[in-house]
Structure 1
Amino acid sequence: MKVFGNRYGSLLMMLGTALSAGTRRAEDHHERGDVPGWVMITLMSAVLVAALLALAGPALEAMFNQAMDTVGS
């Protein structure tokens, strides 16, 4: 019965450690990441895609329509 108690106690300790590790505050973690950096990269990527679509949109649409006409005939 004592072996069961030790196993149960160690299981509770591991569970408690796992739960307390998950509830740390952001300032306690040494690798929080660079939030402004990934926001800037995301915005720049979205602007780049929008600019490319605005510039190449008509040419892509004409190419698509030409391909569909070729397949249809």
Structure 2
Amino acid sequence: MHEIANRAAPLVRSAWDRVRRAWSAELADDRGDVPGWVLVTLMTAGLVVVIWALAGPALADLFEQAISKVSGL
């Protein structure tokens, strides 16, 4: 068993070094993805506006019905 571990150790060490170098390069680049985040934010805001425009009247009617049932008016 030790013989297998001794033979595998350099391979594992080499793979670990490659992973560590790749992560170091990624972490060194701290510019971020500003255009991506802007796009996600704008798309989310657009979806909220579209959903609100479609469901707004139904939600307002549902709210008014609930208030009228609670208040007895």
* Cα shift readout 1:7-54 (whole Å, capped 9, x = no counterpart): xxxxxxxxxxxxxxxxxxxxxx62211000000000000000000000
State the 1:59 CA deviation.
Answer: 0.3
* Mapping for residues 28-67 of structure 1, pairs under 5 Å: 30-67=29-66
Which consecutive unaligned segments of at least 5 residues does structure 2 have? Answer: 1-27
Greater per-residue helix proportion: 2
Secondary structure at 1:31 match in 2: coil
Cα RMSD over matched residues?
Answer: 0.9
TM-score by length of 1: 0.59
Identity across matched positions, percent: 56
State the TM-score, normalizing by the size of structure 2. 0.59
Pick 1 or 2: higher relative contact order, CA cutoff 8 A, min separation 6. 1
Task: Give ranges in structure 1 of 5+ residues lacking alignment.
Answer: 1-28
